[in-house]
Structure 1
Amino acid sequence: MISSYSDLIQASRSQQEAQRLLFVFCRAELPDEASADEQAAFERGEGGALTPVICVDKTPDEAPDFGGLVEQSRSTGQNWDVVFVAAMSGRGGMAPSTDEAQQPLTMMVESIRLGHIGNYLPLDAEGNAVSLG
Structure 2
Amino acid sequence: MASEFKIESFDDFLSLARRQAEPQQLLFVFTRSESPEDRTSAQAAAVAAGEGGFLAPVAFVDIAPREIPGFDAFLAEADSHVVEWTIVFAAALPGIAARPPTPLAIDQNLERMVESVRGGQVAGYLAFDRLGTPLRLSTAH
Seq. identity, %: 38
Quick check: 2:35–2:54 contact (8 Å CA) kept in 1?
Answer: yes
Quick check: 1:54–1:78 contact (8 Å CA) kept in 2?
Answer: no
TM-score (norm 2): 0.86
Q: Letter of the 2:134 partner, please give it.
A: A
1:118 corresponds to: 123
1:84 corresponds to: 89
2:18 corresponds to: 13
TM-score (norm 1): 0.91
C-alpha displacement of 1:75: 1.5
**Separation in structure 2 between the aligned mates of residue 99 and residue 66 of structure 1, nearest angstrom:** 27
**Separation in structure 1 between the aligned mates of residue 74 and residue 103 of structure 2, nearest angstrom:** 17
**Separation in structure 2 between the aligned mates of residue 98 and residue 72 of structure 1, nearest angstrom:** 22
Quick check: 1:6–1:65 contact (8 Å CA) kept in 2?
Answer: yes
2:78 corresponds to: 73
Aligned residues: 133
Per mean C-alpha deviation after superposition, the further-off stretch among 75-84 and 106-115 is 75-84
Unaligned segments of structure 2, at least 5 residues: 1-5
C-alpha displacement of 1:128: 0.8
C-alpha displacement of 1:94: 2.2
Q: Calculate the aligned-residue CA RMSD, in Å.
A: 1.5
**Separation in structure 2 between the aligned mates of residue 62 and residue 49 of structure 1, nearest angstrom:** 31
**Separation in structure 1 between the aligned mates of residue 64 and residue 12 of structure 2, nearest angstrom:** 15
